[in-house]
Structure 1
Amino acid sequence: MTRSDVLIIGAGPTGLVLALWLSHAGVNVRIIDKTDAPGTTSRALAVQARTLELYRQLDLTDAVIGAGHKMPGVNLWVRGEQAAHLSLTDIGQSRTPYSFLEIYPQDQHEQLLIERLARFGVEVERHTELTDFIDDQAMITAYLKTPDGQVQTCQARYLAGCDGARSTVRKALTTGFPGGTYSQLFYVADVQALGPAVNGELHVDLDEADFLAVFPLAGEGRARLIGTVRGERAVDADALAFADVSQRAIDQLKLEVLKVNWFSTYHVHHRVAEHFRAGNVFVLGDAAHVHSPAGGQGMNTGIGDAINLAWKLAAVLAGRATPALLDSYEAERIGFARQLVATTDRVFSFATADGWLANRVRTRLAPRVLPRVMALKAVRDFMFRTVSQIGVNYRNLPLSEGVAGHVHGGDRLPWAKVAGRDNFDSLHGGTWQIHVYGRASEALLEWGATHNVPVHIFSWHIVHEHAGFSRDAFYLMRPDTYVALAQPYGDPTVLDEYFRRRGITP
């Protein structure tokens, strides 16, 4: 019987990131997938700014950016004309080092993660399927169907279900998965094309015709089309070809498709599991939440789930935290998932709603209102923070405490770069650390040295004030780069109390 610390079911981006972060922390992982090989096509394209920030921990960011395509803006079209333009570069450049949307197809993304995981001696076990498991609180006993058709028994301390919307793990937990299914049939096509919508930016058509979004891909003239098919054409999805999709939507974007490299159809659900944890079993990514493709949030949210859970599992397995820490995974991620599903549902419903009133709003009102609304800095800033996921926070939850300046416990650490010094540079490695913007007290420095928690001091600058920091305050950083404790004064006694109450040893 084989044993591991964590058994991961599913080798998509969520499962691979979980395995990679755990392996980096010294955790013994095993990852299986029922498919024969990694995917060679994909629907997920967008890598958001927050994911790129988190990827700096394991030096993945440069590889993703180097192989992908930086998308600097979004365009909305109505009646064959561009109605509004949102520049991601203008609104995000003071908030993140990644003020763009990175286009990096999921198949390439997975291959990069697989290669990095192999450096830790971990390989995905293909054509291997979870058939059943028992959680007796002390240990998970899992039954795996191996490539030769035999059933193998293995054990693990924890089981992570990263096995998609039809998750075997979630179904075995009998937790609810409420929500619904969009009536539209979606299609995705990788094409070679010409036209103004193939300019390296995202273009979305808002019209009476079927919904259509054009995503740029690396390489001249390459684009990914994601659209809907409604009515009689959508009845027989298996028989549908690219020639059957709405030519009107394509014409509205003045798109000339020269070649279709591949084409596929699928249905989209909007659901969130009632629970993300039961005992020693967790669900992450699409196994826990699925939603429309609006905003390119799905893959990034699953990656966020994985990094959130990874440091907590590593701490518990190393004896540096009590198992109660694992309760915070669901507490921190389920609220965001519910909010995300509700938001993407509203956006997608607006973009695809049928009827006279809906069409009039999109074709008459939107062209007049959108440019004016998008001209407002507050609106552009809100949209960027939402889509890029840099606005995700865990305020008022069990691991978050205090406020100093405009930064609360639970916030993503604001980004600040002064004289070439980037305050994100210290966040590599996934460890507890303290940031001070100004002067650190001797008592705080002594506490850090005693507890082996690095204290990073940044000379005070007006840039730090604009970012929201308070001078001479200290900010305790979690291993996943979120602020755990924001303390306006340099008294370190609150640190001992913070860790004691939560059963954590830094």
Structure 2
Amino acid sequence: MTDVLIAGSGPTGLTLACDLALRGVAVRILDRRTAPHRESRGKGLLPSSLEVFESLGVAEAVTAAGSQDLVLRKYFDGEHITDTPMGDGVLIGQWQIEQALRDRLAGLGVRVEYDCALAAVTQDAAGVRAELADGSVVPARYLAGCDGGGSTTRGLLEIPFEGSTREEPAMIVGDVRAPGLSRDFWHQWFTSEGGGILLCPMPGTDSFQLQAAPEPDGMGGCLPASLEGFQRIFDRCAGVPGIRLTDATWLSSWRINVRVAARMREGRAFLAGDAAHVHPIAGGLGMNTGIQDAAALARTLAAALADPARPDLLDAYEAERLPAAEEVVADTERRWERVVDAVRTPGRGTEVGRD
């Protein structure tokens, strides 16, 4: 029987798998996707996450692949106002973080099993039975749901996801190329009319992560993310002649979700990362909070597996991480409000979300 079955191979699930495997725990990690993605998504590692990665033996790989000296260049109504160092941490695409963790995990003899979607979960005093969409059953002593904000695991465990979600998107995002635009800066254009567009060069690639306020559709809603829309917003907010955005490999809309799971444990099953909490992106705390969840859950499960006569050891994870999640959600709401207010002032930008 597998000691720990992990659903989801994002940074949270992969961190948990590496940590447990290094402790000699028998682990399997499943993902409903058919293959790894190559999207920038969460793009910043804080020092606390690098400390975790140092213990896993992946800090050197992600630091080498990322950037630590990027400068935020702020513009207002098309005029260059000021430059600000990015600050502590490492800028790196989420797909590159996941690749480094997968490589480390493979070196420990564990590989992600793709096209494996959870369909049902049952459990008793001895363990968990996870039924997959193909009808197969995976028995394990414990289950960790690290499968994102739309967590199937959380739904199967019937754990409420308490909070709110705004209907309209607050931002459209994507990965694009912008030939001719300097890659020495994270460009942040804002306007007195309230619009804005950000283009951040992703290390190790020729692409930028784009973030922008969505376009109104004229009927009270917003247009979906598209390359054509990105170009219109760029021309309006940046006004840099000769720059044509191309090769959109990721297009998405981001809504403000402020939710925390009512509990992070149901018997022998646990939630971590976005499966347990989602919040505004200000400060770049989402992925990093999930990495901290994974480190705490690894400690808890390793202790419980080493001393099965002490089921009370399982209480430690939720006791530590649920209050932390609630504080992060409240904190990022405050940070988001500061960012929204700050970008109306020339020379200020997303860096205030890290204050």
Q: Distance in 2 between matches of 1:321 and 1:188?
A: 49
CA contact (8 A) 1:202 1:215 kept: yes
Shift of the alpha carbon at 1:40? 2.2
Q: Name which of 237, 242, 248 aligns with 2:227.
A: 242
Distance 1:254 1:301, change over 3 A: farther
Q: Distance in 2 between matches of 1:250 and 1:209?
A: 15
Q: Name which of 256, 274, 291 aligns with 1:286.
A: 274
Shift of the alpha carbon at 1:39? 0.8
Q: Distance in 1 between matches of 2:73 and 2:327?
A: 25
Deviations 1:442-464 (A, max 9, x none): xxxxxxxxxxxxxxxxxxxxxxx
TM-score (norm 1): 0.62
Matched, 1:143 2:131: yes
Q: Name which of 149, 164, 173 aligns with 1:187.
A: 173
SS at match of 1:329: helix
Q: Name which of 59, 81, 93 aligns with 1:105.
A: 93
State the identity as a percent: 33
CA contact (8 A) 2:176 2:208 kept: yes
- 1:481 is matched with none
Q: Distance in 1 between matches of 2:186 and 2:222?
A: 32
CA contact (8 A) 1:181 1:267 kept: no
Q: Within 5 A, what are the aligned runs for 1:347-426?
A: 347-352=335-340, 363=344, 366-367=345-346
Distance 1:236 1:274, change over 3 A: same
Instruction: Tell me which amino acid in the other structure corresponds to 1:112.
Output: A
SS at match of 2:172: strand
Matched, 1:161 2:148: no
- 1:258 is matched with 244
- 1:345 is matched with 333
CA contact (8 A) 1:69 1:103 kept: yes
Shift of the alpha carbon at 1:121? 1.3
Shift of the alpha carbon at 1:86? 4.1
Q: Name which of 183, 190, 197 aligns with 1:212.
A: 197
Q: Distance in 2 between matches of 1:215 and 1:337?
A: 28
Q: Name which of 171, 184, 188 aligns with 2:155.
A: 171
Instruction: Tell me which amino acid in the other structure corresponds to 2:164.
Output: G
- What are structure 1's unaligned runs of at least 5 residues? 90-99, 353-357, 372-379, 388-506
In our comparison, the structure showing a higher alpha carbon Rg is: 1
Distance 1:367 1:243, change over 3 A: same
CA contact (8 A) 2:188 2:196 kept: no
- 2:41 is matched with 43
CA contact (8 A) 2:121 2:128 kept: yes
Instruction: Tell me which amino acid in the other structure corresponds to 2:321.
Output: R
- What are structure 2's unaligned runs of at least 5 residues? none
Shift of the alpha carbon at 1:244? 1.9
Matched, 1:295 2:283: yes
Matched, 1:56 2:57: no
Shift of the alpha carbon at 1:27? 0.3
Q: Distance in 2 between matches of 1:321 and 1:54?
A: 28
- 2:299 is matched with 311
Deviations 1:204-239 (A, max 9, x none): 6365343433322225874211123142175453xx
Q: Distance in 2 between matches of 1:350 and 1:283?
A: 30
- 1:123 is matched with 111
- 2:214 is matched with 229
Shift of the alpha carbon at 1:81? 3.9
SS at match of 1:293: coil
Aligned pair count reads 348
SS at match of 1:126: coil
CA contact (8 A) 2:283 2:332 kept: yes
Distance 1:80 1:162, change over 3 A: same
Instruction: Tell me which amino acid in the other structure corresponds to 2:252.
Output: T
Q: Name which of 190, 200, 205 aligns with 2:185.
A: 200
Q: Distance in 1 between matches of 2:202 and 2:18?
A: 26
CA contact (8 A) 2:199 2:208 kept: yes
Shift of the alpha carbon at 1:157? 1.1
Instruction: Tell me which amino acid in the other structure corresponds to 2:251.
Output: S
Distance 1:351 1:25, change over 3 A: same
Aligned-residue RMSD, C-alpha: 3.0
CA contact (8 A) 1:213 1:225 kept: yes
- 1:445 is matched with none
- 1:92 is matched with none
Instruction: Tell me which amino acid in the other structure corresponds to 1:54.
Output: V
TM-score (norm 2): 0.86
Shift of the alpha carbon at 1:179? 2.2
Q: Distance in 2 between matches of 1:321 and 1:87?
A: 52
The higher relative CO (CA closer than 8 Å, separation ≥ 6) is in 2
CA contact (8 A) 1:309 1:326 kept: no
Q: Distance in 2 between matches of 1:265 and 1:220?
A: 19
SS at match of 1:41: coil
